[in-house]
Structure 1
Amino acid sequence: MSFKISVSGAAAEAVRAALPTLVDDLVASGITSLDPALWGSEAEAEAGNRLGWTESVATSRPLVAEILALRDDLVALGVNHIVLAGMGGSSLAPEVITRTSGVDLTVLDATEPGQVLSALADRLETTALVVSSKSGGTVETDSQRRVFERAFRDLGIDPAERIIVVTDPGSPLEASASAAGYRVFTADPTVGGRFSALTAFGLVPSGLAGIDIGQLLDEAESVSLALAVDSADNPGLILGAAIAATSPRRAKLALVADGTHIVGFADWAEQLIAESTGKIGTGILPVVLDLGAPELTAALADVQIVRLVDDAGDEVFATPDGADEIRVSGTLGAQFLVWEYATVVAGRLLGINPFDQPDVESAKIATRGLLDARPEPEPAAFIADGIEVRGTPHVIGAASDLASAIDALLEELGPDGYVAVQAYVDRLALPRLAEVRDLLATLSKRPVTFGWGPRFLHSTGQFHKGGTPTGVFLQILSSPAEDLTIPERPFTFGELIQAQAAGDASVLADHGRPVLTLTLTNPAADLDTLFAALR
């Protein structure tokens, strides 16, 4: 089998306690037979229409030849570069698939104008755009499609030759794309976005970019039987119990790549777990870490460590003596399927519906309201060395400078709290901003998540509003050097990302979450000021 798992410490105790009941209750075979009753009566209607991912290997096989044929057609047109416009599950899986194989794919899951302009300026003459959206109503993806259509036409290129659409059958996007003459791939509508790695959403952009997608499906198929059997050796049951059944429960899941050949897998798993479990005041908060992260040596009682490793093919997958962690290894296709099973098993153990996302829409509604009304920006409470400072009253009321504002935010942390950094900036221009995460973890002595906005709104954004209400939130914005209009829309990309940040901040505040918003007016210089305050 192309997947191995080893558990020790609290995770091993959790598996010993929960696994026999999962086996006796026929949970694994129930998932595979599409039993919607596994998550309770309130979840049954939703679950009945969201279990198609268990059959993705079989249903996706016919797509392989179609995708490869289209790839040949594009090559014949001189296309050697694929851009993916998508959010959440539509972008994270292809990003992991291509990065792991070292294949070039530009993932455009941003609304920061500088980042969109960078994508438009990169080999446009030889580029094809994949537009991925289940409904087609995703504002980010719709806006990205519009600017690429305009850019292709400006070059004298027919967009119908260069735009490929992945969506659900019967969606408004399918209708409009077909009318425009675009090549359309429809995905299984019974698969939610975060479970769509092995459907058209994961396979079309990856295959067009040059990935051997048949092999990816083979890797997933290699664990299918083991996942379907009600057995104590079932890796999906073991992993689900290990992450959700610890007692007392370790509600933060530290995901660390420790030698694995898979690049960026923790970011994909973060979305899957946070959006699936973070609701009705509970859930599992994934925290993506590197090997030097302070949380790994802090012995935090509510943090469960998961190490993503590579094994040497040994029959016995060993865990170091004295370890208290989960260790997993495997091929990428196998990892996708095992973690999907484990996540819905965790949902059953937590007593929640792992297939809905009831709080994601609230930030979208707030954003739309701000774009429609176009109010004047809220004035800064004060400006510290060029950084505009705003926030909820309890945070701002006690602050007089940047350092005291950060201190006031962290004072809102409880003993089981976490800090969420939300960076609404051009991550290509400011990659160093990610260093804020480790600085805050050292300062707060609590787990810290880091998300690039607005992409995190489609993943951990659900947990922030619906999960355990213990988070404090640091938003970091920047003033764009250049803005970009969106064809046939009354707002620009700069206005869109500002509305997304303000909308989410307002929803978090309405939920009683402490928020501190810092706007970098001179991003390169202001980063040093911010780092100094955090140190």
Structure 2
Amino acid sequence: MNPLKQLAETGQAPWLDFVQRDLIEGGELARMIERDGLKGVTSNPSIFEKAIAHAPEYGAAFERFVQHGDHEPMAIYEHLAIGDIKAAADVLLPVYQATNGRDGYISLEVSPYLAMDTEATIIEARRLHKAVDKPNLMVKVPATTAGIPAIRTLIGEGISINVTLLFAVPMYEAVAHAYIDGLEHFAAQGGDVSKIASVASFFVSRIDNVIDKQLQGKIDAGGDAALKPLLGKAAIANAKVAYAAYKKLFSGTKWQALEAKGAHSQRLLWASTSVKNPAYPDTLYVETLIGRDTVNTMPPATMDAFRDHGKAMPDAVEQDLDGALAILKSLEQHGISLETVTDDLVIDGVRQFATAFDQLLGAVAVKRSALVPVNEATIEADGALKAAVAEASKHWLAEGTIRKLWAGDKQVWTGADEDKWLGWLDIVGQEHAHVGTLARFADSIKAQGFSHIALLGMGGSSLGPEVLARSFGHKAGWPQFHMLDSTDPAQIRTLEAALDLKKTMFIVSSKSGSTLEPNIFLAYFKSRMIETVGAADWAKHFTAVTDPGSAMERVAQHDRFAHVFHGVKSIGGRYSVLSKFGLVPAAAMGIDVETFLTHTAHMVKSCSASVPVDQNPGAQLGLLLGVAAKQFKRDKVTIIASPGIADLGAWLEQLIAESTGKLGHGLIPVDGEPLEDVSVYGKDRVFAYLCLAGDEHKGQAAHVAALARAGHPVVRIMVRDVMSIGQEFFRWEMATAIAGAVIGINPFDQPDVEASKIKTRALTDAYEQGGSAPQGEPVFRENGIAVFADAANAAALGRHNSLSAYLKQHFGRAEAGDYIAILAYIERDKAHLAALEGVRKRLMTHRKVATCLCFGPRFLHSTGQAYKGGPNSGVFLQITTDDAHDLPVPDHKYSFSQVKAAQAEGDLSVLVERERRVIRVHLKDVASGLKDLAHAMEHSFH
């Protein structure tokens, strides 16, 4: 007779430790039941990894599932695995029925990531039990300290459990007690205990694998021949002791009372029964462990071997228990602790299962990426940086840090309040579920004939919509988009001149509703709209985007704005572009928001908790940026974007700088810098090249290639189309959060932005009371240009008799690894931009440091944080001017020019407090002053 089938006569059930789709669909599983007396099947992550990643029969099902609707790797794995589990359960159902629920089970494992979390294990087991919905499913739960109470709870709810990763007899006894307690609870609730089954998977060969190595080490070291007979004996001896415990546990009056109600004993299942040492017989852990009321789950090779030449020896596991105890005692006497070995094996087993799960999900991620349209990124770096990033990836993988991040664990960062600012992680799915609201808003804007949309905001609430507007361009038949994020009177006049107020919808964008700039923008354009359409109709031209319960919401409701949209309180402004703050303007421009979100969701899923670090695009970018800054002092992120998506750089500036620049650390983003010879760039940079497909700029591509050849780290990202820009929003949000974790800061606060706001507010309050701005004395004045410096900076500069000499001395303080930032509180227009770009280029080529050009007060809500709170490596030039034509702020005693002056003064004051190298140059007239400044700069380099 087939030796496998003979096992039934000994009271042992042979189970198969393997599952694969062709085994079920090809009929081999059914044949094994008939031919071998197979009674059950077990699975684990390693088995599914080999199946899903390498077996061709999964390809079509994989592709159908993903193309029907994109999913993250965990969902794809579960879809395929549960399909196999259900099919196998159906094949095994006759065995289950014939044995009255004693056998015929298929096992599915709770995620090993949850092994140390009782409540999460319970929730996951319930979910899997419900998803499979088969009476002959066993959910696998590990025998960890957290697993024991989970087992008790789940059995008490009538869920059959395969307890895995058992090595030690005391832990097995705890598992058995948990099973019995769970049965009693279920019975007390009126449950039918005959419908519950459980096995305790006792691992065998792994014990010998560890102890044999220790024994061989002692033999090799001391030549103690007496130890040789102990080789290959520990695991079997341990199993025999466990079986003796089983017989004792499932006897006596307490168990007999449950048995009378139809309860099944929790059988020992011998797992890990393949032989690791080729010197041992390949059927060793089958023949020696045959016993009544036991299960042996064998991998295919072991099952084939036993079928071929195995011997079914009844009650082998009960033979010579005294000898088994003697073996274990001898091991202790020779300094080998079974308790230590088994404790370590549980920890290692959890780690191995988690690693196998990582490999499984990684394999799924790779197959998914071939089917899903995600912007491709490549990273080039030298060996040292690559190795450091790989080491960081390995650490994050081992610690499960990506999963912790998605779970909202603030310990990923500083343990402050980071968990309260993670709403951006799942906002895409939330917005997609309610996208109809935005579609209806867009239809109303078009139906009412609005020809202009004007966004009034600052920082994150304005820069994201600006990227969308300029990248998508004006769509025929839809309103023209405009944006105001400056208190410069000339900028406000320029905007107003571009608008037909009667056909303009203003979107006032403010999270808190207390931010100065949006409030005074609203006051100004409310006044202008009342003059244009009357007091009864002005509010029909205003939409608010704000957080629920904010001051702006109250204003909008009181004044009866046309629309009020809510943001999410747990999303900071710079992370808000994929929420209503970005999507409301997008819808008003005529962008297909639903398609945009669908494209974006591909990246969200690619960065999800179930994508291992080495396959996770957001994690890889974030670790590169964080490690480069922390370990290699490459803390400048230079952004090069192709013309069609050039404005993406400004959004990245505010995200990176405001998130990471604090506590003396951080990344300094550099956007819009002119392309210069490779020799100009220091070793303090990482370059990010974002190229829109079909928008390649030969000069940019050649420049980036030269930078890579010169050894600079280069990230190349190919944006598939404009609809895929949202993918970059999410990738960089994730990367920035991760870089912050590596650097060791909270990427969601902005303490130094607040410091500047406080000083600005004090000045504007003084204006309200009839006060005036503080008037300092310049250290130098020439032809309508005045130079101001605090005492410390003035002393460092010395006394000079020309503007060029002051500039030469000031910028001469910039050394290797520093950066220079021009902070211009003037109108942001083409002429001013061109003039200052010329100054910037000369500074860059002459000083060979990174350069930044920022217009105030726009930058205060973005890079201003890094300049004040980040590393003290900046050399700053603030530019202010007299405004030729001022504008009053309605309902206030101050003007826009005064507000801008207060903002400049608050900015400068905090820079000085932070001991930054900074001077202020005040221009009497902007146009002539910029020319004189450029001339003086040119002269200073000769």
- Normalised by the length of structure 2, the TM-score is 0.54
Within 1, Cα distance between the matches of 2:773 and 2:694? 59
Match of 1:431, as an amino acid?
Answer: L
Query: For the aligned residues, what is the CA RMSD?
Result: 2.1
Q: Does 1:172 align with 2:551?
A: yes
1:518 alignment partner in structure 2: 921
Alignment match of 1:252 (pick from 636, 658, 679) = 636
Within 2, Cα distance between the matches of 1:25 and 1:143? 48
Within 2, Cα distance between the matches of 1:440 and 1:131? 38
**Relative to 1, partners in 2 of residues 1:381 and 1:251: Cα closer, same or farther, differing over 3 Å?**
same
Within 1, Cα distance between the matches of 2:927 and 2:874? 28
Alignment match of 1:484 (pick from 887, 899, 908) = 887
**Relative to 1, partners in 2 of residues 1:442 and 1:427: Cα closer, same or farther, differing over 3 Å?**
same
Displacement, 1:443? 2.8
Within 1, Cα distance between the matches of 2:575 and 2:925? 39
Within 1, Cα distance between the matches of 2:742 and 2:912? 30
Within 2, Cα distance between the matches of 1:311 and 1:482? 44
**Relative to 1, partners in 2 of residues 1:28 and 1:260: Cα closer, same or farther, differing over 3 Å?**
farther
Alignment match of 1:107 (pick from 467, 483, 502) = 483
2:221 alignment partner in structure 1: none
Match of 1:97, as an amino acid?
Answer: L
1:90 alignment partner in structure 2: 461
Alignment of 1:341-420 (within 5 A): 341-373=734-766, 374-393=772-791, 394-395=793-794, 397-420=798-821
Within 1, Cα distance between the matches of 2:747 and 2:613? 22
Alignment of 1:124-139 (within 5 A): 124-139=501-516
1:431 alignment partner in structure 2: 833
**Relative to 1, partners in 2 of residues 1:310 and 1:71: Cα closer, same or farther, differing over 3 Å?**
closer
Within 2, Cα distance between the matches of 1:501 and 1:224? 39
**Relative to 1, partners in 2 of residues 1:293 and 1:178: Cα closer, same or farther, differing over 3 Å?**
farther
Deviation sequence 1:494-530 (CA, Å, 0-9, x none): 0000111111111111111122111221211222111
Alignment of 1:121-160 (within 5 A): 121-122=497-498, 123-157=500-534, 158-160=537-539
Alignment of 1:265-304 (within 5 A): 265-290=648-673, 292-293=675-676, 297-304=679-686
Do the aligned residues in 2 keep the contact of 1:392 with 1:514 (CA within 8 Å)? no
Q: Does 1:16 align with 2:399?
A: no
Displacement, 1:297? 4.1
Do the aligned residues in 2 keep the contact of 1:399 with 1:408 (CA within 8 Å)? no
Deviation sequence 1:269-303 (CA, Å, 0-9, x none): 11111111101111011111345246x54240111
Q: Does 1:336 align with 2:738?
A: no
Do the aligned residues in 2 keep the contact of 1:113 with 1:493 (CA within 8 Å)? yes
Greater Cα offset, 72-81 or 281-290 = 72-81
Within 1, Cα distance between the matches of 2:544 and 2:380? 45
Alignment match of 1:117 (pick from 493, 499, 509) = 493
Greater Cα offset, 95-104 or 427-436 = 427-436
**Relative to 1, partners in 2 of residues 1:153 and 1:509: Cα closer, same or farther, differing over 3 Å?**
same
**Relative to 1, partners in 2 of residues 1:231 and 1:415: Cα closer, same or farther, differing over 3 Å?**
closer
Within 2, Cα distance between the matches of 1:262 and 1:307? 11
Within 1, Cα distance between the matches of 2:543 and 2:598? 25
Deviation sequence 1:85-131 (CA, Å, 0-9, x none): 11110001000011110133111000000111122222222111000
Within 1, Cα distance between the matches of 2:807 and 2:762? 29
Within 1, Cα distance between the matches of 2:895 and 2:387? 53
Q: Secondary structure of the equivalent of 1:6?
A: strand
Aligned sequence identity (%): 35
Within 2, Cα distance between the matches of 1:221 and 1:369? 44
Greater Cα offset, 383-392 or 5-14 = 5-14
Displacement, 1:226? 1.6
2:612 alignment partner in structure 1: 230
Within 2, Cα distance between the matches of 1:452 and 1:216? 30
Within 2, Cα distance between the matches of 1:310 and 1:133? 30
Within 1, Cα distance between the matches of 2:740 and 2:758? 27
Q: Does 1:5 align with 2:408?
A: no
Displacement, 1:66? 2.0
Q: Which has the larger radius of gyration?
A: 2
Deviation sequence 1:219-270 (CA, Å, 0-9, x none): 210122220112411101110111111232301111111x364231111111
Do the aligned residues in 1 keep the contact of 2:816 with 2:848 (CA within 8 Å)? no
Alignment of 1:180-219 (within 5 A): 180-182=559-561, 183-219=563-599
1:474 alignment partner in structure 2: 877
Within 2, Cα distance between the matches of 1:285 and 1:416? 11
Within 2, Cα distance between the matches of 1:206 and 1:379? 47
Choose between structure 1 and 2: higher helix proportion.
2
Higher RCO, 1 or 2 (CA under 8 Å, sep at least 6)?
1
Q: Secondary structure of the equivalent of 2:569?
A: coil
Greater Cα offset, 276-285 or 58-67 = 58-67
Structure 1's unaligned 5+ residue stretches are none
Structure 2's unaligned 5+ residue stretches are 1-372, 475-479, 696-700, 767-771
Q: How many residues align?
A: 527
Within 1, Cα distance between the matches of 2:848 and 2:445? 51
Match of 1:239, as an amino acid?
Answer: L
Q: Does 1:534 align with 2:910?
A: no
Within 2, Cα distance between the matches of 1:306 and 1:523? 34
Do the aligned residues in 2 keep the contact of 1:281 with 1:469 (CA within 8 Å)? yes
Within 1, Cα distance between the matches of 2:643 and 2:492? 31
Within 1, Cα distance between the matches of 2:392 and 2:688? 18
1:326 alignment partner in structure 2: 715
**Relative to 1, partners in 2 of residues 1:312 and 1:370: Cα closer, same or farther, differing over 3 Å?**
closer
Match of 1:71, as an amino acid?
Answer: A
Do the aligned residues in 2 keep the contact of 1:260 with 1:308 (CA within 8 Å)? no
Q: Secondary structure of the equivalent of 2:687?
A: strand
Within 2, Cα distance between the matches of 1:63 and 1:534? 54
Displacement, 1:384? 1.7
Within 1, Cα distance between the matches of 2:445 and 2:715? 43
Alignment match of 1:35 (pick from 368, 393, 409) = 409
- Normalised by the length of structure 1, the TM-score is 0.94
Q: Secondary structure of the equivalent of 1:65?
A: helix
Displacement, 1:430? 2.4
Greater than 6 Å deviation, 4+ residue runs? none
**Relative to 1, partners in 2 of residues 1:40 and 1:66: Cα closer, same or farther, differing over 3 Å?**
same
Do the aligned residues in 1 keep the contact of 2:835 with 2:931 (CA within 8 Å)? no
Displacement, 1:8? 1.4
Alignment match of 1:67 (pick from 410, 421, 438) = 438
Within 2, Cα distance between the matches of 1:369 and 1:119? 28
Displacement, 1:406? 0.9
Within 2, Cα distance between the matches of 1:503 and 1:416? 27
